[in-house]
Amino acid sequence: MRFEGRAWTVAALAGGQVRLIAENGEMVALLLSLLFADEGFEVVAAPAVCRVPPLGLLESLPAPVRERALAWERHVREVETGHPGGSGAAGPGRAEYAPQVRTLAQREEAKAAELSAAGLATSAVTVRRMRARYRDGGVWGLVDQRAARPRSALGRADERVVAALREVLEAGQERSSGTLGRLRVYTERLLAERHGHGAVPLPSTATFNRLVHALADGRGLLGSARQRRWRTARPAPPFVPTTVMAPGELVMMDSTVLDAFVVLDDGVVERPELTIALDVATRSICAAVLRPRGTRSVDATQLLAQMMVPAPMRPAWPGALAMERSVIPYERLLSVDARLEGAAARPVITPQTVVVDQGRVFVSSSFVAACGSLGISLQPAPPGNGPAKGHVERTFSSINTLFAQHAAGYTGSHTGERGRDTQGEAVWTLAQLDDLLQEWIICGWQEREHDGLRHPMMPRRALSPNEMWAALVAVCGYVPVPLGREDYIELMPVKRQKINDYGIRIDYRTYDHKILNPYRGEASPAADGLWEIHYNPHAPDEVWVRLPKPGRPRGYGWGAVPWIHRTLVSAPFTDFTWQHVRRTVAQRGSRVSHEHDLALALRELLERAAAGHGSRRDKVVAARARAAANEGGAVWGLLYGQPPQTAADGPDEDDGDHGEEVFAADADTEAEAEKADAARERQPLEPAGAEGPAGAGAGDKDGQARPARDSCVTVYDPFEESLRW
């Protein structure tokens, strides 16, 4: 043997010790455990280790081949032991195979004669060879190895043809579906380019088609274009399920076009865009935003805000949708978060990790900054990989089947399922359909049993999202996150630039106000010297600037700066509308005059669309602008009580606050004033620290108003809660 790089001979074994002698006569004694632990230990010229024959492969062989091998096993055992069942078999053996009176050679001759007489021509040499094969490989050594050869699905096809066809199949995964004849033409062209015209002949059509199926079936290289894209987007196996045990631990966000038409202003009919946030642990739709086509990053940030703020009851909703009427532990949570008083039965979830796709909305700098400011970990999914966020994709399908198909103007999942006049069936406006959707989420989704939700103590019973949240919140706890009006501005998209003598200029729009006078031409206290400016793409007629306020707790305040031409454009518009006007108006003069021309063109566009004139494109742009502006104000009004200030007049210069938290309803017109009054009549929930609402759920059983709760932000202790269950 070899030990420590030298050759040794075993001289003696005594108990757990071994004595070794080297080639030069040196003798050592050591423990066997030390010898076996040496990395260079090996036995020189050791016999081959007996391996267990692959008996399981016998089942894959044809029955005649398997029976022939088992028959030879009986013959070999009879020759060697004198009994077909081996040496341990009971009963006497035949005399011609008795080892006591016949030699091994005589027994081999007898077996060869027996098999030849039975019709299987066999010689003694064959019997001897089968004995050797049985000794080396067991019964598997007796198998006819021609039947055990691995078979290829490709047969004897030319390797060059196989390589070319495989390349053509993989290159066509993203193309439209075609016939097998097209694959044959492309393969022939590729072979001619690689090896010369006619150098590699193609097999017959039938053989080529079998070869295509052998390469493509099971790999998703054939079928419809949709199936091939889905197959390509799948992550590489093995698939490891993600275990989520706490609400908000993993939240998935995505956008899709809803399978239903809505009626915008001026009779424009189009499909809105739905963005939702789904909590994986409870399958709760934490928030949903319905917008005209063209979701922006500010819409995604609204989802974050909606998740962490209780959803207030709306005036037309029945009392059964209130949280206090649901399975959620309302009374105990109310002592932690006073904002839950009068809230709808939708869980309040603070996300820890948000999974999004590679869409521009979710990877924008403003959305990333919003997640960072709220302490949320952002996890983008691989590009084009829908299964990476399969929970939210499946939820979209459920929304279409459980809600959208029952709404007027349902379009079906694709054009082949669309009716004759689906647009004519559309009757709901965007605000009306959004109100129906929010109500359905609370009563139709949150209270519906989900087969993927199982309680550990009741594995046979499916739970609803609200029941699952009630069970998990008792274990994980509840920490309220108070979002105020300043947080609304913080979640808006950000730009950093200077404050010049003319004010602030963003995308050919100039914003100016007297509150900027002390800071014109001055560098900001930030490291880059630029000022932080927040804006709302759905209401670009005003921006907010972070201004230093030494006397404030945070050391800064917000100054609202209006657009200098907002008096020319009274109708609501969005950044999408502005970009449309910019593409149609050519610059002929200076930058200042061009901005004035753009403002006039914008006003003309909105007035023309409102009067029913202009192209369909102009009408769609104007309708989307009005719908987006109205929905944006409604969403933030429900969250924080009232929309941000859009009035042209900023704070008084002697006020000393320079626009700190300027939030007031826009009352430029009588219609908008009525909208503001209606919003105030809803009496939505205020942030933590405000008095409870006087709406639904505000009174006790006797009809008396409840006293205002003191502002308190405490922690819902799961250990204390476990003692009550």
**pLDDT tens per residue across span 420-437:** 888 888 888 888 888 899
Higher pLDDT, 615 or 228: 228
What pLDDT shows up at residue 656? 35
Q: Where are the beta strands (DSSP E) in 372-455?
A: 377-380, 450-455
Q: Could you tell me the pLDDT band of residue 268, with boundaries at 50, 70 and 90? A: confident
What pLDDT shows up at residue 39? 84
Instruction: Give the N- to C-terminal CA distance of the chain in Å, as an integer.
Output: 70
pLDDT exceeds cutoff 50 at 118: yes
Higher pLDDT, 105 or 424: 105
Token pair recorded at residue 206: 């039938």
CB contact set of 72 (below 8 Å; sequence gap of 6+): 130, 134, 142
Top-ranked range on mean pLDDT: pick from 146-160, 249-263, 569-583: 249-263
CA–CA dist 115, 123 (Å, integer): 9
Q: Could you tell me the pLDDT band of residue 581, with boundaries at 50, 70 and 90? A: confident
Give this prediction's pTM.
0.61
The CA–CA distances, whole Å, from 173 to 167, 222, 387 equal: 10, 8, 18
Q: What is the mean pLDDT of residues 180-184?
A: 91
What pLDDT shows up at residue 184? 92
Q: What is the mean pLDDT of residues 689-701?
A: 35
Question: What percent of the chain lies above the pLDDT cut of 70?
Answer: 78
Q: Could you tell me the pLDDT band of residue 632, with boundaries at 50, 70 and 90? A: low
Q: What is the mean pLDDT of residues 629-633?
A: 53
pLDDT exceeds cutoff 60 at 578: yes
Higher pLDDT, 679 or 31: 31
Question: Do residues 314 and 438 make contact, with C-beta atoms less than 8 angstroms apart?
Answer: yes
Higher pLDDT, 714 or 188: 188
Q: What is the mean pLDDT of residues 622-638?
A: 53
CA–CA dist 217, 180 (Å, integer): 13
Q: Considering only CA atoms, which of 129, 169, 148, 126 is closest in space to residue 65?
A: 148
Question: Do residues 443 and 322 make contact, with C-beta atoms less than 8 angstroms apart?
Answer: no
What pLDDT shows up at residue 619? 57
Question: Do residues 275 and 252 make contact, with C-beta atoms less than 8 angstroms apart?
Answer: no
What pLDDT shows up at residue 611? 60
Q: How many CB atoms lie within 10 A of CB 334?
A: 17
Give pLDDT tens digits for 11-48: 998 888 999 999 888 999 999 888 888 888 888 876 65
What pLDDT shows up at residue 281? 92
pLDDT exceeds cutoff 50 at 677: no
CA–CA dist 652, 661 (Å, integer): 13
